[in-house]
Structure 1
Amino acid sequence: MEQMFITPIRSLDSIGDIGAAKKAVSGQDGGSAFSDIFKEAVQNVKTTEADLNKQQYLLATGQIDDAHTVPAAAAKAQLSVELLSALRNKALEAYTEIIRISI
């Protein structure tokens, strides 16, 4: 018969090691990391929209060699807006859940 082992629970101080940030998320740093995620998402939307506008301008003026870059830029811009919207929705769901618990 095969023996089963229960792995011990590790402390949560390593949860902040996600990605390249490598900083612990606790206290005020947690709020900072949360706002950094939203700032990065908003900046991503701005960047992809600017790239889409540039590609559309180049296409309209005939300065672009391959027309497939315009739909690709449009898809990137749409995905970045959808990601920002999903982040906002999840944040609002979490907030309403916290409010409901505290009552």
Structure 2
Amino acid sequence: MEDIALIQPMQSWKLGSIGDTTAIGTGLAQVEGASLFKDVFKSAINNVKTSQLDVENKQYLLATGQLSDAHSLPIAEAKAQISLDLLVSLRNKALDSYNELMKINL
């Protein structure tokens, strides 16, 4: 029931006049958007790195006989694969978006 508080109702956009394009893509909002994307992408990269290091550590522990729970290695491998797939998907979507923006005629 606590999750219901997280749902926010849709609100209408406050658009200026049709000819007013000064607020579109300028100022602080553009910088914050770029920073947000950069942070999300860096977070995904760091997640891939840490999950891969975890897999390598668990593989070493398994090879030396120090891993007490053998099921944790396949779980760590699955997490690493999912995080890598997410990073590749983010990259592909970013490239697709960039290519679509380059197709726009001004």
Alignment TM class, shorter chain as reference: 0.7 to 0.9
Give me the TM-score of the superposition, normalised by structure 2.
0.73
* Whole-angstrom distance in 2 between the partners of 1:84 and 1:8: 32
Match of 1:26 in 2: 29
* Whole-angstrom distance in 1 between the partners of 2:81 and 2:11: 43
Report whether the alignment pairs 1:81 with 2:76.
Answer: no
- Aligned residue pairs total 85
Which secondary structure does the structure 2 equivalent of 1:26 belong to?
helix
Could you tell me which of 54, 58, 73 is aligned with 1:55?
A: 58
Aligned sequence identity (%): 49
- Structure 2 unaligned runs (5+)? 1-9, 16-27
Pairwise CA distance, 1:62: 0.5
- AA aligned to 1:89 is N
The alignment yields a C-alpha RMSD, in angstroms, of 2.0
Pairwise CA distance, 1:8: 5.7
**CA-to-partner distance for each residue in 1:57-93, whole Å, 9 max, x for gaps?**
1100000111100000000010010000000000001
Match of 2:4 in 1: none
1:8–1:53 Cα change, 3 Å: closer
- AA aligned to 1:40 is S
- Structure 1 unaligned runs (5+)? 1-6, 13-24
Give me the TM-score of the superposition, normalised by structure 1.
0.76
Match of 1:42 in 2: 45
Match of 1:18 in 2: none
